[in-house]
Structure 1
Amino acid sequence: MPALIDSGDDLAAAVQQITLSASDTDYVDQLVPVLKDVRYSDRAGQLVQALNQFASEREADIERMCNSNHQEFISSINQLLSVRQGSVDLTAEILELNQSIQKSTENLAGQKKSLVEARGVRQNINDTTEALNACLEVLRLANQVHDLLGKKNHYAALRALDELQNVHLREVSRYKIAELIEKSVPATQKLIAEAVMSDLNTWLYRIREASQYLGEVSFFQTEMRRARQRERADNDDYFTRFKLNSAVELVADENDELDILDSEENQIHVDFSPLFECLHIHETLGRREVFQTEYAATRRRQKELLIPSSINLLEEEDADLSRILEDIAGFAIIERATMNRTDSLRSNADVEELWDSMCHSAVTLISGALHTVDSDEKLLQIKGRISLFMQTMSHWRYSTSSFDALMLSLFNKYAEVLKRRFSEDFLEIVSTDDYMPMRINNPEEYDKVVSVSWYSPETAFEELAFPCVFPFSQMYPLCCIDIRNFLNQIYLFSDDHFERSSVIDDTLKSSLDTLLCQDVCASLVERLRSQYPGQIVQILTNLSHFETACHDLSELLFQARHSSSAVGPVVLQATTQFQKGRQQAEQRIFELVKSKIDDLVDNADYNFDLVSPPSRQGGVRQVVGAGGTHSGFIVDLRGYLDLSFNSTLVGLAPVLREELYTDCIIHTANQLLELIISPSVHRLSRGVIDQFAADVAYFVEFVQQLQMPSMAQNLEELTQVVALLTSNNGEEEFFDVASRNRRYGKVDPQQGAELLEKVYRGRALG
């Protein structure tokens, strides 16, 4: 575009330049600034004048051009008129043709309208057909949902319903049928949920019916694992350190492990498909939480049906107890498997809650029925079933701590029943014993008695001659057998699932103490009231052997102690009781012997007023022996002591026998001295002194025959008194201190003086 003219005075040049514009746009663009300039400078007239001048110049140029070309211009005008006439004619023809075309177009428009209308009708028919087909497909799918539901293809029915709702209903959403079917979808979903729940309830019922068999199979598998573990322990001592369900045992048993939920051998196949299907369908329906709640409530109701209101523990083979434990085990195994095979359907807290509830109910039920059982064998069977149950459920990672208190009660009951039964046995053994040394006829009997008794023979087996006798009576080996049986039966209760070893040790010790103290020792001590020294001696011998047996038992209990936390030796109170009983028996023997000695000495009816001893003194029996004439009482006394020492008391231990001999000799000597020292004796005649001296000599002779040098020392006082009484110079010798110490040192000075006074009075009587 040419540049604008900056000079405001040269309007002619500006007009000239404006007229040279190539287009109207340029013309206007250049004219506008000029107009603005003249407007503000009041030069509009000059601009108009410039324009008029320019127009006059242009008209002069045109006129000049026309004058020089006039003829050509006329010819051109004529040609132009001719052309114009032809153009008019053509226009008329075009108008006619246009009218003709317009008529044809109107006819064509009518036909096209008809065609459009026909096509519309056809499209409507097609649309209607498609709509009907779509609606029919929707109806077919709706019917298919119910058909699949009838065939129990619940998940397929749910998928078809989902496809119907999310795909096909959208295609017919503008039709009423879509609204109707859409409204029926929740009801259909509910039908599917109810149908799958019905199938699940059927499955749960079958599972509950199969729970007992499942528990029975699980118990059998635990027993097989026990057998395999024992076999491994027998073959390798390393395995003895590990219990059932320990990590080592589980690893060692991997190759033999059997899936009891799917075992062709046991004809068990627990199919969880109904549960998975039901869970998946409810999760698809957005009802997972509702399903979890309903499922949990159903399982709780089924759990309550497992525990009956009462239980009979006296049935053979523990059928009632086994059935309850198997039901609980099967139910819990299904719960654990459900928790492991589903995603958070059953939480560990839910499963443990049901398990704790079942355990509490079972423990309460069994505990309430324990009072009906009074057989140790039945209690052991009950314990075996419960222990098997506990080991089985520990394998499934269930806590069995709630059964610990029951096992403890069961053990206390078992120990009490055993103690009562063995108490009756001990009392019968003690009451029926003959209290005679046990006679053995052959080596077989000897070996049998030695093997069951706590007894160490003093004589070698090769030196024995049969028949022979044991020092104890028959009751001792019989009691030893019962003690061993009691120990064995108490330890039978201990196994991998009764780990209260300290309870076993304490109960065993206390029960054994009670049996030995109350039923054996007390019974033997009660029989010490017997008046037969031979029986007392045998009781003493038995008590001594029981005391020895208690020491051996303490060592045995210490070695067999289960509790690793216990320290120190095992001390049986029965040891002290038997020791006290033995001491009482010794005292009783001494009492009986001394009592007999007293009775015999009391028969010495010396007539202290006679001057010389007649053939019979006041009815006193006289016996003529090698040493002269002796009183009857001293002969009887010597015979009694001889019989006692060589027959009745021969079964005593040598030390005790020697002690008893010594005590009897001392007591007899004291009693003989008492005859003349007694304040009731006022005088001693020569005849009485001679008779007393002969009786003492007869007694001393008997003591010397015992060949026990220590005994002679116990008779020194008696012999010195006799020597004092029979000496002619007794008074002078006795009152001379040196002589008295040399010849009568054992005689009490006061008693010696009194005896000499009595001799003096006897001489005065003569």
Structure 2
Amino acid sequence: MDSATHLLLVKHYVTLFGAALRQYGYEVAPPFEAMDCSRDKYHQLLFAECKEQIVSIISNDTYEQMVMKKDTDYENHVLSFHLQTTDITPAFPYIAPFSAMVPDACRIVRSFIKGSADFLSHGGHSNSFNVVKRYLDKILIDVLNEALLNTIHSGSVGVSQAMQIAANIAFLEMARDFFIRHAAQLCGAPIRSVERPQASLTAKVVLKTSRDAAYIALLSLLNNKLDEFMALTENINWITEEIPENGNEYINEVLIYLETLMSTAQHILPSDALYRVGSGALEHISDSIVSAFLSDSVKRFNVNIVTGFNSDLRILESFADEKFHATGLSEIYKDGSFRECLLEARQLINLLLSNQPENFMNPVIRERNYSALDYKKVATICDKFKDSPDGLFGSLSNRSNKQNARKKSMDVLKKRLKDFN
């Protein structure tokens, strides 16, 4: 037999036949034992059918948020699988945080659970719930999880698709609680026995592999997109005679993209994913700013361009603070902030603008003010920090004593860094 439906039908007939024979005192254990031997084959056939359906719905998904126009749609796609994030019925049309593949996958898994429970119900299995749960974990991990991973690693998804996949996985994880309770109900197991803390903990790790892969793919795609904007730093005049007003040009492109990104992420991603996206993007920008100073294409730079980058960072820090509070993350991550993700770039700019940069070599001050900076990076960058025509901060004739003191302090820092290396 190559059909799970046919095999289930045969077991149903055997069960009816055995029930009739038992009334007349006949031994019916052998036929039931014979059917039990087909349990793994039945589930393999059921797996194959469900896998084909799951792969199809994932590959054909548009990765666009579902629009529900009436309450019956909401009941069929959301309430049926306990995917609601609030007890309040929304106004219609309602835009769900997930795409169509989520309720479609839930229907397939629910059908699988029913098929598994039906097969085990014929024959009086005393531990049918544990068996169904084991098969449920298998289809979630080996079929649904695997299909999601294949899509994520296919190379055909962009930032918006990866973000939607990450959001979808969060709801599929939420649906597993429904799957467990549904299996218990069909198997006649007490619902309270499946609502223990251990059960909910297991529910959270079943799709962990695909969830983590989705986050990694999303951050990688996001960083690639940010690199396009950060590459505009190559067009900067690093020895400009004027301080760039309102920062450098690239920062406007970066802010527009970040604003769009965070607005979209806020509506579909859970808070932990939203935090990872925001912090990951800002940390990458910070790394890119430091890398720009380290770039081989930058042979020298002056204090004016450092002041320009200082303006860029202030704009980014203001954006980071505003988004951290506006998204509600400040209430969840009370000991963190988005601003911290810009720490390396901020400490570098502070050092380059410091009146006493040589203090970097003081262990106490370094730990307090420059803990995110690397010795070798600082040495390379400081070696490029020059001002024409008379050195770092100009000649005695046209600069204040304070500026010249700063120059001497930087020269001391350079020397000490070379000696240290």
Q: CA deviation at 1:446?
A: 1.2
Q: What is the DSSP-based 3-state SS (H/G/I as helix, E as strand, rest coil) of the residue aligned with 1:631?
A: coil
Deviations 1:301-348 (A, max 9, x none): xxxxxxxxxxxxxxxxxxxxxxxxxxxxxxxxxxxxxxxxxxxxxxxx
- CA gap 1:398/1:738 in 2 versus in 1, 3 angstroms: closer
Q: CA deviation at 1:442?
A: 1.0
Q: CA deviation at 1:690?
A: 4.0
1:673-752 map, 5 Å: 673-678=290-295, 681-706=298-323, 708=325, 710-726=337-353, 729-731=355-357, 734=359, 744-745=369-370, 748=373, 750=375
Deviations 1:150-186 (A, max 9, x none): xxxxxxxxxxxxxxxxxxxxxxxxxxxxxxxxxxxxx
- CA gap 1:392/1:720 in 2 versus in 1, 3 angstroms: closer
- CA gap 1:570/1:745 in 2 versus in 1, 3 angstroms: closer
Alignment correspondent of 2:224 = 595
Is residue 256 of structure 2 the alignment partner of residue 639 of structure 1? yes
Q: After superposing the two structures, state which structure 1 stretch, 389-398 or 566-575, moved more.
A: 566-575
- CA gap 1:481/1:739 in 2 versus in 1, 3 angstroms: closer
Cα distance in structure 1, aligned partners of 2:374 and 2:35: 77
Alignment correspondent of 1:538 = 164
Q: CA deviation at 1:517?
A: 2.1
Alignment correspondent of 1:500 = 125
Q: CA deviation at 1:563?
A: 8.8
Deviations 1:483-525 (A, max 9, x none): 2222223333355x612344x4465334333322233211112
Q: CA deviation at 1:535?
A: 1.1
The AA in structure 2 aligned to 1:431 is S
Deviations 1:359-389 (A, max 9, x none): xxxxxxxxxxxx3xx3444334333332222
- CA gap 1:384/1:718 in 2 versus in 1, 3 angstroms: closer
Q: What is the DSSP-based 3-state SS (H/G/I as helix, E as strand, rest coil) of the residue aligned with 1:604?
A: helix
Q: Which of 583, 604, 609 lines up with 2:233 in the alignment?
A: 604
Q: Is the 8 A contact 2:4 2:42 kept in 1?
A: yes
Q: CA deviation at 1:468?
A: 0.8
- CA gap 1:706/1:382 in 2 versus in 1, 3 angstroms: closer
Q: CA deviation at 1:579?
A: 1.4
Q: CA deviation at 1:444?
A: 1.8
Q: Which of 460, 484, 489 lines up with 2:110 in the alignment?
A: 484
Is residue 121 of structure 2 the alignment partner of residue 465 of structure 1? no
Cα distance in structure 1, aligned partners of 2:111 and 2:118: 10
Cα distance in structure 2, aligned partners of 1:484 and 1:749: 53
Q: CA deviation at 1:639?
A: 1.8
Deviations 1:418-477 (A, max 9, x none): 33322222222222222222211111211222342132432512xx21111222221221
Q: CA deviation at 1:578?
A: 0.5
Is residue 25 of structure 2 the alignment partner of residue 397 of structure 1? yes
Q: Which of 135, 140, 147 lines up with 1:516 in the alignment?
A: 140
Q: Is the 8 A contact 1:665 1:711 kept in 2?
A: yes
In the alignment of these two chains, the number of paired residues is 375
- CA gap 1:452/1:563 in 2 versus in 1, 3 angstroms: closer
Cα distance in structure 2, aligned partners of 1:451 and 1:609: 58
5+ residue gaps, structure 1, are 1-370, 615-626
Cα distance in structure 2, aligned partners of 1:412 and 1:755: 64
Q: What is the DSSP-based 3-state SS (H/G/I as helix, E as strand, rest coil) of the residue aligned with 1:455?
A: coil
Alignment correspondent of 1:658 = 275
The AA in structure 2 aligned to 1:540 is A
Alignment correspondent of 1:279 = none
Cα distance in structure 2, aligned partners of 1:380 and 1:692: 69
Q: What is the DSSP-based 3-state SS (H/G/I as helix, E as strand, rest coil) of the residue aligned with 1:493?
A: helix
Is residue 58 of structure 2 the alignment partner of residue 441 of structure 1? no
Cα distance in structure 2, aligned partners of 1:443 and 1:531: 32
Q: Is the 8 A contact 1:441 1:466 kept in 2?
A: yes
Alignment correspondent of 1:418 = 46
Cα distance in structure 2, aligned partners of 1:705 and 1:575: 31
Give identity over the alignment, percent.
Answer: 22
The AA in structure 1 aligned to 2:269 is L
Q: Is the 8 A contact 1:452 1:480 kept in 2?
A: no
- CA gap 1:520/1:752 in 2 versus in 1, 3 angstroms: closer
Q: Is the 8 A contact 1:558 1:570 kept in 2?
A: no
Alignment correspondent of 2:174 = 548
1:233-382 map, 5 Å: 371=1, 374-382=2-10
User: Rg larger in 1 or in 2?
Assistant: 1
- CA gap 1:743/1:612 in 2 versus in 1, 3 angstroms: farther
Q: CA deviation at 1:610?
A: 3.5
Alignment correspondent of 1:672 = 289
The AA in structure 2 aligned to 1:418 is L
1:190-229 map, 5 Å: none
Q: Is the 8 A contact 1:650 1:657 kept in 2?
A: no
Query: What do you get for the CA RMSD once the two structures are aligned?
Result: 3.8
Q: Is the 8 A contact 1:554 1:572 kept in 2?
A: no
Q: TM-score, normalised by structure 1?
A: 0.43
Q: CA deviation at 1:672?
A: 0.7
Q: CA deviation at 1:665?
A: 1.6
- CA gap 1:563/1:760 in 2 versus in 1, 3 angstroms: closer
5+ residue gaps, structure 2, are 331-336, 395-421
Is residue 199 of structure 2 the alignment partner of residue 578 of structure 1? no
Q: CA deviation at 1:746?
A: 5.2
The AA in structure 1 aligned to 2:274 is R
Q: CA deviation at 1:595?
A: 2.5
Cα distance in structure 1, aligned partners of 2:168 and 2:270: 12
Higher helix share: 1
Alignment correspondent of 1:140 = none
Cα distance in structure 2, aligned partners of 1:637 and 1:557: 48
- CA gap 1:471/1:607 in 2 versus in 1, 3 angstroms: closer
- CA gap 1:730/1:596 in 2 versus in 1, 3 angstroms: farther
